């Protein structure tokens, strides 16, 4: 779809139009995207619950190779340096068909995103100019990385009770919506279970096993205080493939050794991809 739309827009004269923008820079967004790529291809979760490393296997290598082919074809060459706002700005200025975004992006886009002409979609009164869907999946299905922002109270706060009331106040709409959703009945049509999380009004689907995708958490719990080091190593390895500094099989093998050194965990099944 990205290839076809990009070709059509360029044929009409927009030579700087791209099919797909995403976050390929040195940031946590790439850890999340990389996890989704490899998990949807059956490559594992970077670090499994049994403390094995899942990065040096054919499915991970294939997923990284596919992403590398996007760079310069349907995605700008500079996407390997993009952070969250870089990708959003390219898409928001009308220069890309698809944006790999996050749940929080939807409210930003619809309540004040500066599109061409410095008008937000809200001001135009035409939110239908955009659409939201789930990230496509590979042979093992869709994979969505668990993300979000948290609210916390400092242990050294002089006003913990007041702070707690503030947190409750800030979360009241989320809690009300969650309770309302849990009381509503799920539909019979299967396609409704494929809605992206941000639009999915049927949380009962996940409980019943009818959900359309796999929700994955980054390996922060299993890695503990080593997670930041794990994530940085993962980002470096993935970017080395995206920028064509290393071939995927070499990057995966080196990353496996580095993660073993960082965590002390054991390797998963070896790679057999030539």
Compare 122 and 63 and report the one with higher pLDDT.
63
Question: CA nearest 24: which of 243, 182, 221, 232?
Answer: 243
Residue 110 to residue 120: CA distance in whole angstroms: 7
User: Residue 153 CB: number of other CB atoms within 10 A?
Assistant: 14
Burial class, 186, CB count within 10 angstroms (exposed 0-12 / middle 13-18 / buried 19+): middle
CB 45 within 8 A of CB 35: yes
What is the arithmetic mean of pLDDT over 173-196? 60
Tell me 136's DSSP state: P
pLDDT in the model for residue 134: 80
Query: Cα Rg for the chain, rounded, in angstroms?
Result: 21
Compare 224 and 120 and report the one with higher pLDDT.
224
- Reported as a single tens digit per residue, the pLDDT across 125-165 is 444 477 888 888 899 988 888 876 678 899 999 999 999 99
Residue 125 to residue 110: CA distance in whole angstroms: 9
Question: CA nearest 34: which of 73, 58, 57, 61?
Answer: 61
Confidence of residue 170 (pLDDT cuts 50, 70, 90): confident
- Reported as a single tens digit per residue, the pLDDT across 252-267 is 999 999 999 999 999 9
pTM for the predicted model, two decimal places:
0.78
Pairing of strands 18-21, 213-216: unpaired
59-73, 95-109, 173-187, 259-273: segment of lowest average pLDDT: 173-187
Confidence of residue 124 (pLDDT cuts 50, 70, 90): very low
At residue 8's C-alpha, the angle toward residues 5 and 9, to 5°, is 85
- Reported as a single tens digit per residue, the pLDDT across 32-90 is 999 999 999 999 999 999 999 999 999 999 999 999 999 999 999 999 999 988 998 99
Residue 133 to residue 135: CA distance in whole angstroms: 7
Compare 230 and 170 and report the one with higher pLDDT.
230
The distance of Cα 66 from the centroid of its chain, to the nearest Å, equals 16
């Amino acid at each position: 779809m990205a290839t076809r739309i990009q070709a059509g827009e360029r044929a009409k004269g927009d030579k700087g139009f791209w099919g797909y923008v995403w976050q390929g820079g040195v940031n946590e967004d790439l850890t999340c995207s990389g996890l989704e790529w490899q998990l949807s291809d059956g490559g594992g979760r970077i670090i499994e619950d049994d403390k094995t490393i899942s990065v040096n296997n054919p499915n991970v290598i294939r997923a990284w190779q596919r992403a590398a082919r996007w760079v310069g074809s349907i995605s700008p060459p500079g996407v390997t340096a993009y952070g969250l706002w870089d990708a959003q700005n390219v898409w928001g200025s009308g220069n890309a068909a698809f944006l790999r975004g996050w749940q929080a992006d939807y409210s930003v886009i619809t309540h004040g995103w500066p599109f061409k002409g410095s008008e937000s979609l809200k001001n135009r009164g035409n939110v239908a100019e955009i659409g939201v869907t789930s990230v496509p999946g590979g042979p093992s299905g869709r994979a969505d990385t668990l993300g979000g922002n948290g609210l916390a109270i400092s242990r050294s706060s002089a006003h913990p009770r007041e702070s707690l009331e503030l947190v409750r106040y800030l979360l009241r709409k989320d809690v009300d919506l969650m309770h309302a959703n849990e009381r509503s009945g799920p539909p019979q049509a299967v396609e409704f279970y494929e809605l992206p999380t941000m639009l999915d009004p049927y949380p009962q689907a996940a409980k019943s096993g009818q959900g359309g995708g796999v929700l994955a958490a980054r390996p922060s719990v299993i890695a503990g205080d080593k997670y930041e080091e794990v994530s940085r190593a993962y980002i470096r390895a993935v970017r080395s493939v995206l920028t064509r500094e290393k071939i995927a099989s070499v990057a995966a093998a080196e990353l496996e050794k580095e993660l073993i050194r960082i965590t002390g965990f054991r390797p998963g099944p070896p790679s057999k991809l030539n």
